[in-house]
Each structure stands twice: as structure tokens, then as C-alpha cells.
Structure 1
Amino acid sequence: MKVRLLVQIIIFCISVHAYGALLSFTNCGSDTIEAVNSSDQHAKYSQGLTVWFDEPASNSGKESWLKVSKPNYGPHANPDRAWDKYALPIGNGHIGGMVYGHITEERIQFNEKTLWTGGPGTKGYNNPNVEDAYQQLPRIRELVLEGRIGDAEQLAKNTLKGIWKGNDIRFGKYQTFGEVQIKTGISASGIKNYQRALSLDSSLVTISFAKSDTVYKRRYFCSYPHNVMVMRFECNKPKAQNLAFTIKSPHNHIIKNTKNGIVLSGRVKDNDLGIAARVHVTAKDGQVNIEGDQIIVSHASTVTFLLTADTDYQMNYPSYRGEDALKNTLHTIKKAKRLSYKTLKETHVADYKGLFDRVQLEINNSSLLTNIPTDERIRVYKKDPTDNGLEVLYYQFGRYLLISSSRKGNLPANLQGVWNNELYPPWLSDYHININLQMNYWGAGNSNLSECNLPLIDYIDNLREPGAITAKSYHNARGWTTNMHSNAWGFTAPDNYGVLFWQYFPLSGAWLCQHVWEHYDFTRDNQYLEKTAYPILKSQAEFVEDYLYKLGDSIYVSFPSWSPEHGSVSIGTTTDHAMAWDLLNNVVEAATILDVDLQDRKKWAGIRDSICSPKIGHWGQLQEWFEDRDNENDQHRHVNHLFGLYPGRQISPITTPGLAQAAHTSLLARGDGATGWSMGWKINFWARLLDGDHAYKLVQNLLKHGTSTNLFDLHPPFQIDGNLGGMAGIAEMLLQSHAGFIHLLPALPSAWKNGKVNGLLARGAFEIDMQWNDEQSVKGQLYSKKGGPCILKFKSETIKINTEAGKSYDFEFPEKQN
């Protein structure tokens, strides 16, 4: 581990040296600052670490949402195209911001993760479940078995529904909090050497430009340790900053003055949720005046704004209240304003790097420097997809987004992470749990960001109580269940959208529980398994046990069921069966480790082994339904019936080659296109099929056709799951550990002939550093966090190592001959 630490230090020093060499500046205050060298048209940023542009985001697109907002439940173009194409994201899991970098008036749109409409407090809020809906299940089953599919669909539509419509105000929508606008007094004419950069290795956005002989620089970051957004304005001349700061919000609010700041407080109109944002300003050499709702700073050398935001939301069913936004923000600002900007920045960077620096990736010569802005790189890649550095950048950008949108103490990342500039966001920016929420967290384990799982696990635990009502209402079952989508308010019922495959998905809870188990499998935290994971898994197993229907004398099916967003009613969908199998397999393993519930685990194992097995259809496909009715010309974006291949572990080319070949056939038929998130999913499928070149084709397609110029995934519009699913897929190409061994480079594409990666995490809590050459050899080091036996596999060779906790072990394939 000392060797690894030394290497990280060397890499960091090289990066700092390279970055610092590009920038020169006059010291203008207690903190040394840098800006672009005025002789360079473009500074050269490291490919793997920086997203950057040479023009402001506000030079493109429409005005902000404050002037343009269009109600729409489904997909639509963002009303501010600069937001999802050029603005740069910052966040700490609680607060998120999008930085535009305009010259004359800076804009930072911002969010607080718990700012939702709907829920308790909304007019007419009530139990969304239809009580005793389960009484119609026998008749629906009879109709299906009689072949009366239309009648079965109609009865199910009338009975297996929730009370609320799809866009019901009681369900709610994730909201933008507002926007910071800072007038600078600087004319946009005559600006030279403009640069706006997001440094992924330090989680800082930096804007710099020159006007005449004055060079200006701004820095932005969201600190997790101190829960503030920091906005820093600097220049190379004393007393040259003249700023007018305004904060705006579309929600009902008032603004009051404080000493060196302002406080915004208000209530969300439909649910009376309290909201608050506080701003504190510090100016070196200058004068600060609070005038109405503005902070006016005159003749300052450096200016630092601190912003924090909160709501009264607390994750405690059924009230979801308990915090005091005004008191919380006051406490936060009081602590943060005592610290220097340097301390705030250093603490933020250290906290962030403690997560981000765990994994370094280089492919071929991807670490070479480039002078091409990111939007231009994307344009070039669309025509010539050979920029390995952009692929590495995309992977690390995914890790950056997960760290920035999912930290302990708040809600998990939603459809847009934490970033949303609308009052009517696409798909409500909610928690779709027929894949999208789960996809956000696929890469947390293998990319060594297990701590980012904690908001998701807390959220799942919170669903148990409302989910128990849903389980009883629709299935007369114990335990708990969820359906197609949820929100900040613990929604678990089907909605009343009208089409069953868009609302009824009772095995989504079993899918969520896979993340509860996977967190243990990657960390091997036995206390977590006993105190947190197992109670969640056990109660979900009780639901699955009661929910499954015994067809004849031998097999269990999910009946009736609908494949997510695709097809009519079935005796049993493959996705449901795979998720039930996965849940029971995991809970049996958990109970065995803990040595509890012997009789229950025997029963669960028996049910698991009797669940309808994946079936191969008439054209060699893995059937999506119990009935052999797949259409080989169907290219639907959802491929849930391949769950057993990924993210499950029921299908493998090594252990079940016949089923893997059927999955291969289905995947070929679905094609290599679709939405951004669907392409991200397919990377993982092809990686699990050990086809690196096909997985790589999907990486290229995702970058060419599903990625915006600021690297945001486009459904379209922006959805973060494509970014995070793509990140997970790239890691899955390099390392897999789901089949009882650690598979090194299982899906390495021929284009990635040489490379190295440090810090990927395998199940069993093993960290892997490795480098490869010409696809034929790999060597590296394994670090065992918890000890225990470990099997490494590369191509057809294996090495078994009995490890001790806290020790490292070198490995090499092919092994050197004595």
C-alpha cells in the first residue's frame, strides 16, 4: 500500500505541475491564484481530468427557466439549451449547481435535493393504494389461462391500479431552487483567452479570461464537509471587482438582509414545505452594501460568496417533516464563514479526492495533454471515434457525477442526479425503479465508491413501511413491495396511468434489494449485513414468498406480470423471475453468513430452485415472457429480460453458455442504438458476454449519439443514468467479480491494447491495480481489505491466493516460468 500511495502522490504532483505550468498570475491576497497565460489561445488540460470550454455557456441557448418554463410530463427539450449542453455541474449530494461562466452577468442555477412538490401537506393527499385490489388476481389469472388476454388486460387496468393519475399533484415533482445572478460590470467586448474548466480530480470549476491587462478568475465548488457552495472572484489588480449579487427563486419567498449577506425563506405553494437559502459575502479591500435583495460589492480585490440551502424535509414516513430549514442554514453559514477560503477549498478537495483518487485509468496514450475544448472533442469523436482520452474522461466524469450527487445524509441521485433547472422536469425527475434508479448505482461498487450507496440504502429502508401497505393491498402479502416509480415521499403503489406496463411492477423491490446485498458483497461489512441489510432482504423475501404463484405442481411464476414498458400480460415475465431468483439467492447467502433462520433459508432456497427458469424461444432468443412471442424485429429500448445476465448473476458464458448464447441472440436483435441510458445498459450486457469489441462499439455509440457537449447523457433530454450506466460498463469491461472469481480484463476491446488501472474494487473487498500490454499479458497487485481466499482469472489461466486482511499480493499473467 505504500507503493500505491507513492504512485498516487507522484501522479498528483505531475498533474499539479502540468496544470500549474499552464497558468501564471500575480498573488492578490492570502491565497495564491492562477489564470491563463495571455500568450496562449488555449491552455492544455489533461485529457483524463478536465472538461473545458473556450466560451461561456450563456452565449448559447435561451434565457433561464425564470423566463421560460413549459409544463410537460414526458420528454421535452430543456427550455434553456445552454444548461444541458454547456453549463458545468458542481455538487455535494445535497446542493447542486450549474455554472454558466458569462462575462457581464454570471449565472449559477442551483438545487437542494429535498425540494419537491407533492407529498404530505398537498391538498387531498391520501393513501394512494387501492385496498383489497388483490381480490381480483384469481379472476385475472383465469382470463389469461383461458386465452382471453384483452379481457384480462381490461380487468387488470380497472383493478390493479393506484388512486393517483400519472401527473397527480400529490405525487409531486423535483424542483429547481433558484438561480444566482452576479453582475460584474465587465463588458463582453475585447475578452481574450476565455476558459471555463471543470477539474475532475479536484471538483473545482474555474473560469478565467483577460480584458486589456486585467485577468479575472472565478472558482466554484460545493463542499460536502461544510455543505456550502463557494463562489470566489479574483483578479490580478487590486480593488478591481465590482459585483451585484442577486438570488432568485420561482417559489413563494421573502428575502431579508443579514450582516454581510441575505436570507431567502419561503414555502412551496402546494405542500407548504419550508425552504431557505442563505448567502454570506467576504470582500478583501472592498465595501459591501446590502441593498434590498442585492449584495453590492465595490472596489474589492477578492470576493467570496458562500451559499447554503435546505428544506424542512426529513426522511421519516409518513410526515416527511422534522428539519428546520432556517435554523439549519444559519448553523451551516455560521460555521463556514469562520473559515478562510483556503481552508474551505483544501477541506473540500481533500474530502473529494479521498473518493475520486481511488481509481486511475489510462488507455493507450490517454494521459497525453490536448489543447482541444471538450465540445470540439465530442464533435471530432462523432466522425472519428478514436480518442481514448475522451473515453477515459467520460468514465471519470461518471464517477465525478456520482460523488457529486450521492453522499450520505440526503436522498439518492434521482433521474437528473441533483441537477434540474425546471419546475416541470422530464418524467418529474423522480425515482423510476424499473431500471433508472438502479442504474445510477451499478458502478458504485466496482468503481470503488461504495460510500455513495448509502443514500440509496437509506431510501430503500424508508420504503419498507409504505411498501408493506402496498404489498397487503395488491397481493395480500407480508413484507413490502414497490412498483414502477417513486418519489421523495415513499410512494410504492402503482399509479393510475392507464397502461399496466407503465405502472405495475411489484418485483422492483427485489431489484432494489440487489443493491442492498451488493453493498455488502463489495465491502464485506458484517455489521452492516446484520443490522441493516438482512432485515431489508428478509422482509422482501417474505413478500416474494407470498407473491409468487405456483403453476401446476412444480414451478413458481410471477402471475400476472408485465415486462417493464413492453408488451401485454403474461403468465410470467423473465425479468420478474430473474429478480425473484436473485433476491432469494442473496437472502439465503446472507442468512448463511449470519447463521440465522435455518428453516427460512431452506424454504427460500427451495422456492428459488423452483422458479420458472429462463427459457429459450423459437428463434434462439432468451424469451422475454413465459409465452414464446418475442419479435426478432423488435428493437425496444428496454431489455429487462436480460437481468439474469446483468446486473444479476444467473446467466454467464462460463457457467450457463446455452442461456448466454440466447441472451446474445436477443441482444443482437435489439440493436446497438436506442436512448442514452439504454446504450449504457448494453455496454454492461456485452461486457458480461465477454465481447469487448461489441461493448466498445456501444461505448462509442453512447459518446457519439447519447452524449451532450458537456458530457451529460441525453435520453434526450438529460438523464444521469446513461452517464452512470456507461461508467459502470467501462469498469465491467476491465474487471468482473460476480461469478466467484475475479476476472481480469474480461471484455477488453482490441482498440485498448495497452493500459493500466488502479483501484477497481472486486466483490470480496479486493482492490486491484493492473496494467496490460498488447492484450496478452497483465500484471499488478491485489490488496485484500478483509482477507479470505481469492481466485484471479485471466483468459484461461487462474491463480488462487489465500489472503490476509490488510496485505497486498503481486500477480502476473502469464506467470513467469522458473
Structure 2
Amino acid sequence: MKNILYTTFIFLIYMQTHAQFLLHYGKPASKFTLEQRNNYNKLGYMQEALPLGNGRLGVMFSGRIDEEHIMLNDITLWMNSKRGLDTIAQSGVRIGAYKNFDKVREAYEQEQYGTSENSMESMSTKYLSSNQPLGNYAPFTDLYISTGHDSAAVSNYKRTLDAHSGIGQVSYQIGKAQFTREYFCSHPNDVVAVRYTADKAKMNIKIHVNTLHNIKKINAVDNRIVLIGEVSMVQDNIEFLQLVYIDAKDGKSIPQTDGSFLIENTSDVKIYVTAYSDYLPIYPSFKGRDYKTDTQKMMDAAVKIGYEQLKQTHIKDVSALMDLCQLALDYKPSGLATDKLIKQGASIELENLYFNYARYLQLSSSRTAPVPSNLQGLWNGHLKPAWNADYHNDINVAMNYWMVETANLPDSFTPYVEWLKIIAESGKHTAKEGFGIEKGWSAGLNGNVFGFTAPNEHGRRMQQSGAWLCQNLFEHYAFNKDVNYLKEIYPILKGAAEFYVEFLAPWKDGSLVVYPTWSPENVYLTEQFSNLNKQAYGASWDQQLVLNLFTDCIEASTVLGLDKDFRKKLQEIIPKLCPQKIGQYGQVQEWPEDWDSPTDQHRHISHLIALHPGRDFSPLTTPKLADAALVTMKHRGDISTGWSTAWKTNFWARLHNGDKAYQFYQFLTSKRAYSNLFDFHPPFQIDGNFGGTAGVCEMLLQSHLRSIDNKANKIEKATFVAYQKSSEENNHFVLVSPSESFAEAPYILHLLPALPSAWPDGSIKGLRARGGFEVDIEWKNGKLIGAKIHATTNGKFRIYSNGLLSEVMALEKGETKIWTN
């Protein structure tokens, strides 16, 4: 009894100290049944098991008593696709599509709506859409550890994940014996480590591995389990090696003929796992890693280092990143298990935990791998996951990376950059072979790890995503002001802009628009042409993003002193783009035609991308467009899927309505979260986790506006405005080209722009602002107490707080400014 009470006391102290980072449960996760693995709509393991990751390897552990199931993923592992084609075919583009591009465009120019044989959609499907398989993100392997313990005999069970240290734990008692498990996934040493210990008892354990893919070899020898597998592709199967090393300190290790190990009479067993496939991010082969040698070297190094050093290095690595930004809201920890905390409903405790946990998921799913996090981060146990667990270029992959900037995990952006280099290389072939455009690159709606950039197989999903993908790319520069990084990405930015320069075409009023396109997933004129009528021209989100891209290219070329003539061309094109329009209901029009419906509660609100994550709609600088955005938000309603709820959190924050933004964040955390806090789309999509945390950052700090008149003391006079009211059409807003001086314009740091009344007291450390600044903010009774602005590079800025705009201030790298009202 004394031992039980002591253990409980220690756990409670730990929980109180780490409440804002700790997920904890009083029961194991469900068993991952075959039915669940074959049907992602069957809930259980994936919604209850706890995630670990190092950005390349993903792990989930169930904590089951009789048999632990550790699921592993490799973020580069895909199946059912093609690799190793020639440079054109590998892009997925329909060969010779460009020959029929003008024919397809005629259907748009003639306004052939609907899905008839000669419609825009049918012509796009027939002549432009890819017929190459995209494939899907694949599960990797499974590690099973059987204990023989009877769950009915267990007491004092606890299962935890400490997001501050990246350590998972399971503990329970059987009689007087104490059993403890520990799990982590190391980024510095690229290895998964597991430890089982017993106090006042001995353990008899069976360890075996499996995979849903073809097993070419499996054996157990010299304390190692060797698994060589092969993943089915439409062309060129992928091979991989996984090694499991077993260190039973005081027990006996007995290899079995089925490739498993029996560990007898042990009180301490350590297990290391690492693996690689033959994938390399080399277009178009995507092959070449010496995966057997690399796996062996990594395992040998881990064994030599030893468990304790691996663990301490891992904790130091994760905690240093987690400490970069911390939200501290005012609440008293309830002590409730996380699943019960969620069931209880909305609470500040849950909202604080969700924020910190999302940052943990970010660093766990995106570090230094050559591909970014996908729809499920890097955790997937299904052979056919929802939406292929792919890269949706129309919001999802972008949303995955909004919070790396504001929530201070900038190094997590590296995989996005590396992947986009491949996309740009592949996209050159899609631009030329698909549309007959010689310069630049293009990418469609869906992507994979094999450079797929072709238009989607369904004509109704035709879009060009280069501008959307490049928005994140330039934002990373805006936050770090690293000129060397800008040099690295400039060819990608310029290539995307070059494509649009040629792709834009006149609409009926003479303005330039993007087409073929759609406004993602939404429909119009449904009574005449059905609910599949999606193809369009000049969708507002396209036009807004093209302006962003051209403006970013103008700034980048100015900073780098490159391409003066191209810069001038972009400046000349911008005013010719189709204006943004306010429609008959006072809403931002989703299309050039006023087709919007006030009863349309669609989850996509892409035509407000200029509000967020763009920077050109603002209550402070474009009040009429902001009011129109407000009408649109009211039309779209309050009930949404996970990622849409997250995006609406950001929209309302940018509209400076903190209570409305909070309403959506509250709904996201309490009604759109599974018991392991994975986002509930349904089913699981991780962009909701990341987008929600980005929304919290936007409530507390915004830095997207620029001061071009540094003598003006009113923000509406000082700030660059990208849309000006047309002198000819009352509700039309024409686009404005920036001058070269725009590149020197200081960013405006808006403190507490949308603080919700539900959070009267609190603080946040380490928010990042554009211009190269880190910001700590403290508030009490809903009012700003003070802020610290720390410069990560030399830079200038202005502060906007309580309706007042400061003078321009300058800091050198390493300096800090204390700000109080």
C-alpha cells in the first residue's frame, strides 16, 4: 500500500508540473483490429494510441497490457504509384495535353457549364487530366511485445505522453510488482527506443515484428530481428530493411524460427528499432539509398551510445524546441485524464494543452526528412488511408506549415523547401507538356513523394497550385529575413510567377484571370447544372494568390538585385488582374460572376485567402473588403470539419474578433478532437491541429501589415494597401503594384489584436513576427501588461497596440526592446 501511495503521489506532482504538456490516461488504447486497418472509418487504435516521431520515423504505442502494439511509419514510404519513369512522364502529365489546351479553353470561353460531353469539366478530364496513379502514403511495420500479463489482475494503470520531453510511458502494478515501460523516437540518433522494467518481479516477453507488405526475409539472430520488406508500386517496387536490437540485461534471449525472440526471466529489457527504404529524393528515379548499410550503421551507433545517453540527448533535443514558445493561460489543473478532459467539454486547460501538443506534433512530423508532413502528419496504419494521406495543395499542406513560423519551429520548414524543389523541377514538365508553357512550373491539386504535379484525374478539380505553395515559401523569408535562404528559393518563386505570366488570359471584360480553375470543392448555378458544376475561371482565391506571388517576386528580386525587367513586367501585369468584387449580398464574391448564395455553408472559404494566410484584406486598411469578408463568414456558418474550423479560427482572428475566433478554437479542441487529441475531420487529418494553433498565435500577435509611410501616425495612412476602390465600379477593388521601396517597409507588430474575453490573464513566450523578431507578451484583465521584442537579425518595426501606432524602431541582432502601453 505504501508503494502504491508513493507512486501515485509522484505521478500527481509530475502531472501538476507538466499539466500543460501531459496527455495521460487510465486505460490502454484499443487493439488495432484488421477491420480498422482495412477501413479508416472504424475508430479505435489510431484515435487512442499516442504518437512519437522524429520527422522521418513515426511511432504510435497502445499501452495494452497483454500485448503492446507499436506501429511504425517512414514518411517517405508510399505505395501504388510509379517512380523511375522518364523526366516528363514522372510528373504525371498527360503526354501531348498541350495540343488540346486551346480546345479546352474554348469550353470555358463559351461558358460550357455542367458535366455534359462538351462541358468545361468533361473537356478538362478528356484532354488535360492525368491518368497516372497518385498512390498513397503507406504504413511501414509493426512491433509486438507480448507480456502474458492478465489485464484483470492490473491496478494503478497509467499511460502518458509528455509533449515537453517526447517521452511516452506506461506503468501498472500486479500485486506488489511494479511494471514500467518507456518509449521515445530520437531525432539526433534516428532510432526508436523502448524499455521495459520490472520491480519485485521478472518478465517473460515475446518480441516479434510484422508488416502489411511483402516480407522477403525475416530472422532472429545475435539479439537482432532482421526484416526485409518490399512495397508494391505500379512501377519499381520499394525495398526496406528494419532492424530490432534487444538488450535483456539479466535475462535470456532465445531466437525463434519465426523471426521472433523470447526473453526469459528479465527485469530490464531495452529495444532499439531503426529502418530505411531505398527511397531518395532524386527526380525522376526516387531511388538509390544504400538502405541496408545505413540501417546497420545507425543501429550500431545507437547500441554503442546506449539507452541512457540516447534518452538524455533526445530529451534535450525535444525540450529545447518545445521551450522556444509556450502558452501559459490562467487555469487550475483539473487532474482529469485527457480523454475525460475532452468529454467534459471546453476548458482553458484543454485549450492550453492543445496548443502545446500541436507544436509537439509539428516537430515530431517535420524535421529534416526530404518530404513534408502529409494529411496525417506521418502516422498511418491503413493500406488505403483517407484521401490517400497525400499532399492536398489547395490548403492542407500549406496549413501544416502556418504555425512553424508564428509558433517558433522554423527548422521544421526544411522538408517543405526540399519537397518544393522537386515539385518545381517536375512542374516544368507539367507546364510545358500540359499547357505548352515554356517557362516556369506548375502543380495541380494533389501531390506525392514522387514529384507528381499533373492536373487531377477529375476535370472538376482543375487548378494551378504554384502560387499557393509559394506563399509559405516566401513567408519563411519574411519571418527570418535570411538573404541566403531567399537566394535558394528565388528560382522557385520566379518559376511559379513565370508560369502564371503566360497562363493568365483575358476574361470578357479584358481583365486577366486564371483558368481552367475552380474554387476548391465548391459549386455554383446548381439548379441549372447540378452539384458537380465546379469548373470556373478567375476564381477569387487564384487572383488573390497570384497578386501575393507577383508581389513576393518583386520584393525578392529587389532584395537580391536580380531580374529588373521581369520585375517591371510583374508590376505592369498586377493592375490588369481581375478586381476583387463585393457582391449583391455584401459578400466577397467567390467568382468573377456574382454566383454566391447566402445559404452556402461550404467548409472551404478559399476566396478569403487574402484575409488569411494572405495579408491584403484587413479591418485596418481595407474596411469595405473586411466587412464583405465578415458577411461571407456569416453566410458560411459556424459548424465545420476540423481543418475548416481551424481556418475559421484564423479568419476571425484576422477580423479582430477574438471571441468569435475563440468560439471556433474552443469547438476545435472540445468537439473536433479524438481522445489522443488528433484532429477529428472526420476521420483524422492533422492540419486541424496545426491550423488551430496558428489561430491562437494570430489572436495574440499579427505582423502581416507593412508601413510604407513611416512618418504617418495613423495605421490606415501608414500601411501599404494592395486593393483600392475602382473609380469606375463602386464595388470593385483593383490591384496595386508595389514599388521597389516596398522591400524596405518595416512590418507592423500588432499586439493582442484578437484577445478573447475568456482568456483575461495569461502570457505567451516566443511568438515570432515577420521582420526577424521574437515576441513575449503578458496580459492581465484583458489588457496588455507588456511585451519584449527580441531581434534575431538586424531590423526595423513599428508596434500597433490599443489603437496607437508607434514610431519606427530599430534593433540589431541580439537586442531586446521592452514595450509597455
When normalised by structure 1's length, the TM-score is: 0.89
The reply on whether 1:70 has 2:38 as its aligned counterpart is yes
Note the C-alpha offset of 1:686: 0.6
Distance 1:40 1:211, change over 3 A: farther
2:378 maps to a residue whose letter is V
For 2:256 and 2:9, locate their aligned partners in 1 and report how far apart those are by CA, in whole Å. 37
Determine helix, strand or coil for the equivalent of 1:51.
Answer: strand
1:549–1:283 CA distance, 2 compared to 1 (3 A): same
CA contact under 8 A between 1:117 and 1:172: conserved in structure 2? yes
Deviation at 1:698? 0.4
Deviation at 1:140, TM superposition (A): 4.3
Residue 519 of structure 2 is aligned to residue 547 of structure 1 = no
User: Structure 1 residues 70 and 24, CA, compared in 2 at 3 Å: closer, same or farther?
Assistant: same
| 2:427 paired residue number | 467
Once residues 152 and 212 of structure 1 are traced to their aligned partners in structure 2, the CA distance between those partners, rounded to angstroms, is 72
The Cα shift of 1:700 comes to 1.4
**Distance in 2 between the 1:94 and 1:39 partners?**
31
Q: Is 2:504–2:515's contact at 8 Å kept on the other side of the alignment?
A: yes
Give the deviation of 1:126 after TM superposition: 6.3
| 2:84–2:286 Cα contact (<8 Å) kept | no
In the other structure, the counterpart of 1:491 is 452
Is the alpha carbon distance of 1:102 and 1:155 closer, same or farther for their aligned partners in structure 2, counting shifts above 3 Å?
closer
Secondary structure at the counterpart of residue 403 of structure 2:
helix
CA 1:154 to 1:712, structure 2 compared with 1: closer, same or farther past 3 Å? Answer: closer
Q: Which residue of 1 aligns with 2:243?
A: 278
Conserved 8 A contact 2:107-2:120: no
Residue identity in the other structure for 1:494: P
Residue type matched to 2:33 in 1?
S
Which of 272, 276, 284 does residue 306 from structure 1 map onto? 272
Distance (whole Å) between structure 2 residues aligned to residue 69 and residue 361 of structure 1: 36
2:802 maps to which residue? 795
Q: Is the 8 A contact 2:83 2:286 kept in 1?
A: no
**Aligned-pair distance for 1:63?**
4.0
On the 8 A contact 1:180/1:248 being kept in 2, the answer is yes
Specify whether residues 230 and 594 from structure 1 end up closer, same or farther in structure 2 by C-alpha distance, changes over 3 A only.
same
In 1, are the aligned partners of 2:121 and 2:535 still within 8 Å (CA)?
no
| Contact map agreement 1:47 1:390 (CA 8 A) in 2 | no
Q: State the secondary structure of the residue aligned to 2:581.
A: coil
The within-5 A match list for 1:37-76 is 37=9, 46-58=18-30, 63-65=32-34, 69-70=37-38, 76=40
Q: CA shift at 1:36, angstroms?
A: 4.3
1:246 to 2:208 alignment: yes
Q: CA deviation at 1:122?
A: 8.8
- Of 78, 81, 85 in structure 2, the residue corresponding to residue 116 of structure 1 is 78
**What does residue 714 of structure 2 align with?**
none
Give the whole-Å Cα distance in 1 for the aligned partners of 2:444 and 2:481. 29
Unaligned runs of 5+ in 2: 524-533, 707-747
In structure 2, the CA distance between the partners of 1:805 and 1:69, relative to structure 1 (3 Å rule), is closer
Aligned-pair CA distance for 1:752: 0.8
Q: Which residue of 2 aligns with 1:816?
A: none
Question: How far apart are 1:410 and its partner, in Å?
Answer: 3.1
After superposition, where does 1:740-779 map in structure 2 within 5 Å? 740=706, 741-779=748-786
- The 1:158/1:419 distance shift into structure 2, 3 A limit, reads closer
* Residue 418 in structure 1 maps to residue 378 in structure 2: yes
Structure 1 contact 133–159 (Cα < 8 Å) conserved:
no
Q: Distance in 2 between matches of 1:678 and 1:321?
A: 36
Identity %: 36
For 1:119-518, what aligned pairs fall within 5 Å after superposition?
119-120=81-82, 128-150=92-114, 151-164=118-131, 170-237=133-200, 240-253=202-215, 254-270=217-233, 271-292=236-257, 293-365=259-331, 368-381=332-345, 385=346, 387-477=347-437, 478-497=439-458, 499-500=459-460, 502=461, 504-506=462-464, 508-518=465-475
Taking the TM superposition and a 5 Å limit, the aligned residue runs for 1:616-655 are 616-655=582-621
| Cα offset, 1:298, TM superposition | 1.6
Q: CA deviation at 1:302?
A: 1.3
SS in 1 for 2:590: coil
Q: Which amino acid aligns with 1:766?
A: F
Q: Secondary structure at the match of 1:149?
A: coil
Shift, 1:757, TM fit: 0.5
Secondary structure of the corresponding residue to residue 771 of structure 1: strand
**2:492 match: secondary structure:** helix
Counterpart of 1:521?
478
Letter aligned with residue 515 of structure 2:
F
What is the rounded CA distance, in whole Å, between the counterparts of 1:483 and 1:331 in structure 2? 39
Residue among 537, 554, 566 paired with 2:493: 537
Are residues 1:82 and 2:44 paired? yes
Give 1:570's aligned residue: 536
Partner of 1:3: none
- CA–CA distance in structure 1, aligned partners of residues 455 and 46 of structure 2: 31
- Is 1:811–2:775 an aligned residue pair? no
Distance in 2 between residues matched to 1:593 and 1:230, nearest whole Å: 46
Which amino acid in structure 1 is aligned with residue 240 of structure 2?
I
When residues 24 and 668 of structure 1 are mapped into structure 2, their CA distance, relative to the original with a 3 A threshold, is: farther
Query: Could you tell me how far apart the structure 2 residues matched to 1:51 and 1:522 are?
Result: 31
| C-alpha displacement of 1:535 | 1.1
- Tell me how far 1:145 sits from its aligned partner: 4.1
**Displacement of 1:798 after TM fit?**
2.8
- Looking at structure 2, the residues matched to 311 and 227 of structure 1 have their Cα atoms a distance apart, in angstroms, of 14
Instruction: Assess, with a 3 A threshold, how the Cα gap between structure 1 residues 226 and 360 changes in structure 2: closer, same or farther.
Output: same
Q: What SS does structure 1 have at the residue aligned with 2:428?
A: helix
CA deviation after TM superposition for structure 1 residue 606, in Å: 1.8
Residues 333 and 349, structure 2, Cα contact 8 Å, conserved in 1: no
Q: How far 1:35 sits from its partner (Å)? A: 5.3
Q: Answer yes or no: is the 8 Å Cα contact 1:562–1:569 preserved in 2.
A: yes
Structure 2 contact 283–422 (Cα < 8 Å) conserved: yes
Cα separation, partners in 2 of 1:296 and 1:581, compared to 1, 3 Å: same
Using the TM superposition, give the Cα deviation of residue 294 of structure 1 relative to its aligned residue in structure 2, in angstroms: 1.0
d(CA) in 1 for partners of 2:15, 2:368 = 36
SS in 1 for 2:160: strand
Residues 468 and 394 of structure 1, relative CA distance in 2, 3 Å threshold? same
Relative distance call for 1:45 and 1:607 in structure 2 (3 A) is: same
Q: 2:512 aligns with which of 545, 553, 556?
A: 556
Q: Secondary structure at the match of 1:479?
A: coil
Relative to structure 1, the CA distance from residue 559 to residue 306 in structure 2 (aligned partners, 3 Å threshold; closer, same or farther) is same
Distance 1:126 1:516 in 2: 24
User: How far apart are the structure 2 equivalents of 1:309 and 1:578?
Assistant: 43
Does the residue aligned with 2:434 lie in a helix, a strand or coil?
A: helix
Contact 1:616/1:623, CA 8 A, preserved across alignment: yes
Q: 1:686 aligns with which of 642, 645, 652?
A: 652
2:674 corresponds to which letter in structure 1? S
